[in-house]
Chains A and B, each alone.
Chain A
């Protein structure tokens, strides 16, 4: 029996070693790197204590990128949750060729972020882009999107809807679990579609909404790929992760960037905890 246990340990050993080397050790190293001036190409690394953190909180750029990210998060998270949920409710109906619609809506979620960004570069192009072309049909002179600082955030919000398909999968599977008997009882009591959605579907979906909210917070604050590929006029596309990346690989301030990463970790943790605390007021677990 003991030998069997040992054999089992040997089998999980590669994963444990990998986890230690590629996750735990870098995390511990990152704590230390955040207190140094390590530049990645240099060899004279010095311990600087809390200097990186002090510099970060005094940097206008840090607050600027945090503000951009926060504004994006505060609008995009509810927007994506609402869109995903609404589409899921529609796709849960027994309509003809629903499978095809589901595939169409989910497909964007499996496309590479870089490819999506490049597609959106064209969609949002002020001169030849799809959106401005459609707007021109109804007599609207479309904005300059990513080329105009004031339209950079709306551009990213439009792009964020592209990822709504990822949430649809979880909502749909949860919708399938809602007992039909509840809807039937409600119908007997005279409930219409709105009542059924508001008083049956929505409460029963709150655990999934909660899950998607947490995931949404994490991904909104870690937004990088499209912002890195597309940028945005006037520095308005400089999300927190882009700022972090620039500090690490453009200015070679790896210690500073690592400190930024820890601050981001704490920010995400803070919002996650807040949402978790609020859970008891709106998530139906019974």
Chain B
């Protein structure tokens, strides 16, 4: 009996040890993606094409994590089973870089033959960097623009903004005043709707202010310019130009699609064109596009959501891995809008022909696209001070002393960041 039990135990331990050993060839790389369904099929098609072009030099495999992406990813990293490549959104690059989870690819990118940092829109590539080092290759950019209901504007006799001329936030508020409270299609309409989106950065930048300086460490949130920008947000609420936060009962885009608001600040990827085409003819309306209004310095600051593909710091053969990463990234540029590299805006006509009318505005947005100046503790700082300390109190009570909120948030941020 004892012999049998001992044999079984030894066998179990052996199986466990064998199972734990990695038998992966050194030229095989895995990329983790949040893509699922049709998107995953398209993704795999791209990966297959890249593998075919590599002709056996390297092989890229897909790891789809459609739900709880970051949780599963972080668990894999903790378990030393990190995929060689994975997608990260911009606000996490600094965190992962600081923690040593992703590789510094500055040398490779700077000396790249097919892709360098200069090929990217400035604001986009900046979102993949920390302390002047690059940690990822952005493969998509999705900056904000203003969608507006041209049919409603015309019916209410309000002058619409143009596709590329920089209108100011004062003009935006003036137009909002002309629209809000008017009756359109038997309903009282609002200028736009804000419930935490667009993010607070959009309003902070609207006055020419910022959260952190370019070094990602100096807090400049309590500048007069920031306060002027946040006043734009507060004005929209206080003058009832937009619905109150506690009365918003469905998704922001639905207000626009139901023609209850005249304007919508959203990413260039938002597919209103398709949705409008599917509506009953009586409900259809003409879409207009305009840039995010400019700050007092004449600068439009469209917030840009960007995703990058990063390389795990645990990768052994970084030269080969970067070659694969670059090839994959170049292939991604033909997949979705918008490719984050300069001179490719016309490709949007092939990738998403329904966006043809928006092309000029998209180009304008990409030229000015930017993200925040991120720090390694950004997610925490953003949650604690920008959302809970500033945005949420304004949403819940627009009469709040927002200057005091900004000062307190800045003070909290300084102690958190150690500025």
Contact = CB atoms under 8 A, between A and B. Distances in A.
B101 A61 contact: no
A40 B246 contact: no
Nearest to B82: A41
Nearest to B72: A249
A147 B396 CA distance: 11
A127 B100 contact: no
A250 B388 CA distance: 15
A148 B247 CA distance: 7
Contacts, number: 68
A61 B388 contact: yes
B74 A40 contact: yes
Interface residues of A, number: 29
A41 B74 contact: yes
Contacts of B247: 144, 148
A234 interface: yes
Interface stretch (A3-11, A73-81, A103-111, A260-268): A3-11
Given A127-B249, A144-B249, A42 B100 contact: yes
Contact of B392 (A40, A126, A235): A235
Contact of B249 (A44, A147, A150): A147
B95 A252 contact: yes
Given A147-B246, A233-B245, A249 B96 contact: no
A88 interface: no
B2 interface: yes
B1 A41 contact: no
A149 interface: yes
A233 B391 CA distance: 13
Contacts of B78: 40-41
A43 B100 contact: yes
A129 to B, nearest CB: 10
Interface stretch (B351-359, B360-368, B378-386): B378-386
B99 interface: yes
Interface of B: 1-2, 5, 70-71, 74-75, 77-78, 95-96, 98-101, 245-250, 379-380, 383-384, 388, 392, 395-396
Interface of A: 3, 6-7, 10, 39-44, 60-61, 125-127, 144, 147-150, 233-235, 246, 249-253
20 contacts: A10-B5, A40-B77, A41-B99, A42-B98, A61-B388, A127-B249, A144-B247, A147-B246, A150-B246, A233-B246, A234-B245, A234-B246, A235-B388, A235-B392, A246-B383, A249-B74, A250-B379, A251-B379, A251-B383, A253-B380
